[in-house]
Amino acid sequence: MSTTIERHLYDVVVIGAGGAGLRAAIEARLAGKRTAIISKSLFGKAHTVMAEGGAAAALGNVNSRDNWMVHFRDTMRGGKFLNNFRMAELHAKEAPERIWELETYGALFDRTKDGKISQRNFGGHEYPRLAHVGDRTGLELIRTLQQKIVSLQQEDFAATGSYDSRIRVFQETTITELLLDGDRVAGAFGYYRESGEFVLFEAPAVVLATGGVGRSYKVTSNSWEYTGDGHALALRAGATLINMEFLQFHPTGMVWPPSVKGILVTESVRGDGGVLRNSEQKRFMFDYVPDVFRKQYAETEEEADRWYTDPDNNRRPPELLPRDEVARAINSEVKAGRGSPAGGVFLDVSTRMPAEQIIRRLPSMHHQFKELADVDITKEPMEVGPTCHYVMGGVEVEPDTGAALGRVQGLFAAGEVSGGMHGSNRLGGNSLSDLLVFGKRAGEHAAAYVETLPSRPKVAKVDVAAAAEVALAPLVRPGGENPYTLQQDLQAVMGDLVGIIRRAGELTDALKRLQELRVRVANVGADGGRRYNPGWHLALDLRNMLVVSECTAKAALEREESRGGHTREDFPKMSPEWRRINLVCSLEETGEVHLERKPVPRMRAELITLFERTELAKYLTDEELSDVEAQ
Amino acid sequence: MKRHFRVWRGDAGGGDLRDFEVEVNEGEVVLDIIHRLQATQAPDLACRWNCKAGKCGSCSMEINGKPRLGCMTRMSTFAENELITITPIRTFPVIRDLVTDVSFNYEKARETPAFAPPSGVAPGDYRMQQVDVERSQEFRKCIECFLCQNTCHVIRDHDENKPAFSGPRSFIRAAELDMHPLDSRSDRKEYAQASQGLGYCNITKCCTEVCPEHIQITDNAIIPMKERVVDRRYDPLVWLGRKILRRDQLETRPAPSSVAAPPSSARLPASAAVGPDGHMDIAELTAPLQGGPSPFGDDLTFPIAPEELLYNHPDKGNKP
Ligand SMILES: Cc1cc2nc3c(=O)[nH]c(=O)nc-3n(C[C@H](O)[C@H](O)[C@H](O)COP(=O)(O)OP(=O)(O)OC[C@H]3O[C@@H](n4cnc5c(N)ncnc54)[C@H](O)[C@@H]3O)c2cc1C
Ligand code: SF4
Ligand code: SF4
Ligand code: FES
């Protein structure tokens, strides 16, 4: 095996080519920094491509009463007040600019009658707010950013004769380790998937934009890329993770046929009139409206149905409750024996709209069900159930800059890999806008950070050699364990014991099993050589999945309440005391996950007055409430 | 139920079809079977995939000879005892097993001039009507699976045409920008003609046929661009000539290579239906459909019989 290692020098290295990574890279390049974009899959295939519904931004195009304050309120409500308020504020304020900017890059959103960007309804958003393109918004977003990068490369080509001179994409390249100089980021080490050869990026600033962790679950809408690499890289570099107990289970994943189990049915099916029924044909969501939401949701089917055409004078249907509520409701119906044959519930648009309208408004859903499941959604209902979809938790960052907290400097994070913005639950559509807002910020501040450095941090040779050895280990380990089996076992532990409904006993058991798995993962082996060897790639991803799963299980055991994407059967209530606490994970020298409690930052006075007292009373402790009143 | 699969395995140095007996369950797609092979019999079998829902365009392969997405090909579409043969997409150099080097497509994308924003219109002030954006939106559905590129006979088995020909994926990009209501460049069609090799395309429609997004590549992008390029460049009388003469006789571009069949597979990449004079049929006039005969040859029907399927490495002495 060759030991030569290709070296590249950059100012900013962006790991991840989804919405967050591409937006960060654009900003770093615009700031004049030599920028590399690294991605595990081909350029333009990152997970963002799969987002369907839209990007939330208070453009006010459909309902002029919408503005950033309403959006901020919805976001905080959705996250059950655990969100980092500053991130939610920046997000609500800046999302419109970021969306409009996409149009200058060539994006073509669906339009309103007066030619503006059209916006659609979505769970948890008070007004129609999601800028969209049919149900392939993520594709539009990623293609637009991809093409913007191409256009920057064309400018560079005109100026320097090389497309790659200022911004270069390294596709099908996986980063396995971040390299430090003291506490400063010095570079990133990885391998080309195609050749299996190693590559070293020396750079003073790294932006993590690696997305989520869903691959640790059996039923998931996430692809093989979602192994929590960024989370794990950050931990190993000395950064911290917050809110790892909060995972979003999307309420409506396909449950039939088995091969497509987990694949998403977009929320816009419900936003556009689709309803949920159990095996008794009952619209059961009316029975599951929690008190905190009672005022905003319709109580009768008639009122709910009127809302689609007259949203100003009617309350919204309970099918549009935040995702965690819908997921839990479906889970309860199935447990109570009122589920569909394949263990989900029915989602029906066929009786609600004429076929042409369904095909026009939900073209890719129609296509997806037709091709994948042989179901015609204009004629029959779909069978859906909860699927692991999004991780709210992630790298703890400084809200304004995206800089990772903890010991390390020069590390930034944006997009799904970062934590805090969405609190305990993310509203649909808030992710795509999050990618743009914080991707831009991370790119900008990574570039600014590079400016402040007196000299470039240096990569130590021994660290590179060590990283190479770790990466090669599975290939040279005779009789190592099969990585696919290990992955299945990990998925079983997480799916069964740290799933949507959690219990102390099971979580303790999960932690024990994760320890056992850790020993086995240390002994993983891979057959075959270094060229495009998926077994080897999985073997290397496993240790990331494992450490991130440990964080999730530990935090889930610690948080003794139910909130958003974390439901404890033994602690079914939301607790105002727990709302003040963030759970923060770091990695000890020994490789053990260390968990600590940190206070949630307090909202500024002018923001907290955006809420009515009665609403605050549902979330805050009495002490906090009297503080608010005193202001 | 166990079923018989043949999968091409190998790399740039060569390879062959391997036989596998694999369990198949109800409701599965071809990509599921590949995953099962990886998990049970061939852990290092290389195959790209991401979304498993026909949205990312990663899992392009040739299934019983037909270019398709593995994740969108249901097992139930095959006959009970049908042997299923999976080979890499053939137009691009193989890296390993089912993974090919598709960088050609990214290079061509990089050469196509980007969107040129209208000057003086501030972000947020863009106004467009739905009917006007819809035409371009059709092309923006493209998931970049490159199946159209793989199928187009101008470059399938004709590496020599690759420098001059950007392929249908690039044509729809040019068309999309051409139809973009606010794009400020007005030379998209001329560019397609002069620099993307639009003239090589003889509207056989095979690209449209394989597009998993059902984009009407030929009818809605290529033909309108050709027509209007011709409109602008030539007077109406010459337009008639276009229908009678071979395209490359009209334009000053070098002629596409003559399509002599290279022995690159058991199934000869059928001569692209050229007549004895080495010219393509004047498709627009004679064919029942607009667009011409299949570049695979008219006598070829899919699926191809298993014994005729083979993937021969293009670099392994199979070149003419
Ligand atoms: C089916 C589905 C539908 C969704 N619908 C919506 C929606 O309608 N609205 C909405 O707002 N959100 C939606 N989401 C959520 C949203 O799409 C994601 O949260 C978001 O796209 C994440 O973007 P990202 O930029 O953080 O990362 P991603 O787009 O996931 O990109 C991650 C990148 O990191 C790279 N990477 C990872 N690890 C490494 C490594 N070790 N080395 C190198 N590269 C690495 C990957 O290759 C990839 O390029 C949806 C999600 C799913 C799964
Ligand atoms: S119509 Fe035929 S020749 Fe033209 S691009 Fe499509 S496949 Fe190629
Ligand atoms: S046009 Fe169709 S076939 Fe061609 S790359 Fe796009 S989606 Fe694939
Ligand atoms: S895996 Fe994404 S298209 Fe097949």
For the entire predicted model, the pTM comes to: 0.86
A526 CB neighbours in chain B (<8 A) are: 43-44
A534 CB neighbours in chain B (<8 A) are: 38, 43-47
CB pairs under 8 A between A and B: 172
A371 CB neighbours in chain B (<8 A) are: 54, 72, 74
Paired strand residues for A239: A406
ipTM for the complex? 0.86
Cβ-defined contacts of B156-162 (< 8 Å, 24+) = B156/B90, B156/B91, B156/B269, B156/B295, B157/B90, B157/B91, B157/B262, B157/B264, B157/B269, B157/B314, B158/B256, B158/B257, B158/B259, B159/B314, B160/B257, B161/B197, B161/B200, B161/B256, B161/B257, B162/B104
Residue from A8, A71, A144, A431 whose mutation best tests the ligand 1 pocket (most atoms within 8 A of CB): A431
A256 part of contact set with chain B, CB < 8 Å: yes
What is residue B314's predicted lDDT score, i.e. its pLDDT? Answer: 62
**What separation in angstroms does the CA of A444 have from each of A100, A205, A437, A466?**
19, 11, 11, 32
Q: How many CB atoms lie within 10 A of CB A289?
A: 18
Cβ contact B175:B222 at 8 Å = yes
Best of A26, A100, A111 to disrupt the B interface (most B CBs within 10 Å) is A111
Q: Give the model's confidence band at B280: pLDDT under 50 very low, under 70 low, under 90 confident, else very high.
A: very low
| Pairing mode of beta strands A581-587, A167-170 | unpaired
Catalytic residue numbers of A read: 323
- Hey, are the CB atoms on B128 and A143 less than 8 Å from each other? no
- Nearest-CA distance from A552 to chain B in Å? 24
Q: Where are the alpha helices (DSSP H) in A223-362?
A: 229-236, 268-271, 301-307, 323-335, 355-361
- Hey, are the CB atoms on A108 and B128 less than 8 Å from each other? yes
Which ligand has the shortest distance to the CA of B61?
4
Each residue of B54-109: pLDDT tens digit? 899 999 999 999 999 999 898 988 998 899 999 999 999 999 999 999 999 999 99
What is residue B299's predicted lDDT score, i.e. its pLDDT? Answer: 57
Query: Exposed, middle or buried by CB within 10 Å (0-12, 13-18, 19+), for A581?
Result: middle
- Hey, are the CB atoms on A143 and B38 less than 8 Å from each other? no
CA nearest to A206, candidates A190, A223, A225 = A190
Residue from B92, B217, B218, B219 whose mutation best tests the ligand 3 pocket (most atoms within 8 A of CB): B217
A529 part of contact set with chain B, CB < 8 Å: yes
Between A45, A103, A194, which is nearest B58 by CB?
Answer: A45
Q: Give the model's confidence band at B160: pLDDT under 50 very low, under 70 low, under 90 confident, else very high.
A: very high
Task: Give the residue extent of every domain in chain B.
Answer: 2-100, 103-245, 274-320
d(CA A177, CA A189): 5
Assigned token pair, B210: 């394989």
Assigned token pair, A604: 């500024």
B71 lines ligand 4 (CB under 6 A): yes
Q: How many CB atoms lie within 10 A of CB A290?
A: 15
Which ligand has the shortest distance to the CA of B147?
3
The hierarchical CATH code for the domain B103-245 is 1.10.1060.10
Cβ contact A239:A395 at 8 Å = yes
Our measurement of the distance from residue B43's CA atom to the centroid of its chain's CA atoms, rounded to an integer in Å, reads 29
What is residue B300's predicted lDDT score, i.e. its pLDDT? Answer: 62
Cβ contact B316:B14 at 8 Å = yes
Paired strand residues for B99: B96
- Which chain A residue has its CA at the smallest distance from B120's CA? A104
φ and ψ of A596, to 5 deg: -140, 160
What is residue B237's predicted lDDT score, i.e. its pLDDT? Answer: 38
What is residue B228's predicted lDDT score, i.e. its pLDDT? Answer: 66
What is residue A371's predicted lDDT score, i.e. its pLDDT? Answer: 76
What is residue B276's predicted lDDT score, i.e. its pLDDT? Answer: 54
Q: Which domains, and CATH codes, for chain A?
A: 6-246+392-462 (3.50.50.60), 254-389 (3.90.700.10), 477-573 (1.20.58.100), 601-630 (no CATH)
Q: Give the model's confidence band at B317: pLDDT under 50 very low, under 70 low, under 90 confident, else very high.
A: low
Domains B2-100 and B103-245 share a fold: no
- CA-nearest residue for atom 7, ligand 2, is B152
B153 lines ligand 3 (CB under 6 A): no
Domain spanning B2-100, CATH architecture: Roll (3.10)
Q: Give the model's confidence band at B229: pLDDT under 50 very low, under 70 low, under 90 confident, else very high.
A: low
Ranges in chain A, pLDDT < 70: 1-3, 258-259
Query: Exposed, middle or buried by CB within 10 Å (0-12, 13-18, 19+), for B179?
Result: buried
Q: How many CB atoms lie within 10 A of CB A230?
A: 32
Assigned token pair, A108: 């073509």
- In chain B, the percentage of residues whose pLDDT exceeds 90 is 58
B135 CB neighbours in chain A (<8 A) are: none
Annotated ligand binding at A47? The verdict is yes
d(CA B62, CA B65): 5
- Hey, are the CB atoms on B115 and A106 less than 8 Å from each other? yes
φ and ψ of A313, to 5 deg: -110, 5
- CA-nearest residue for atom 1, ligand 2, is B203
Each residue of B252-275: pLDDT tens digit? 444 444 443 333 333 333 334 444
- Which chain A residue has its CA at the smallest distance from B106's CA? A43
- Which chain B residue has its CA at the smallest distance from A221's CA? B51
Q: Which residue, chain included where needed, has tokens 């965690």?
A: A324
Annotated ligand binding at A496? The verdict is no
What is residue A225's predicted lDDT score, i.e. its pLDDT? Answer: 85
Q: Give the model's confidence band at B297: pLDDT under 50 very low, under 70 low, under 90 confident, else very high.
A: low
Is the confidence at residue B28, as pLDDT, over 90?
A: no
Between A42, A223, A374, which is nearest B51 by CB?
Answer: A223
Between B27, B44, B129, which is nearest A527 by CB?
Answer: B44
Compute the average pLDDT of residues B197-216.
92
Q: Give the model's confidence band at B294: pLDDT under 50 very low, under 70 low, under 90 confident, else very high.
A: low
| Residues sharing a CB contact under 8 Å with residue A589, sequence separation 6 or more, in sequence order | none
- CA-nearest residue for atom 50, ligand 1, is A51
- The amino acid at residue A605 is A
d(CA B46, CA B57): 16
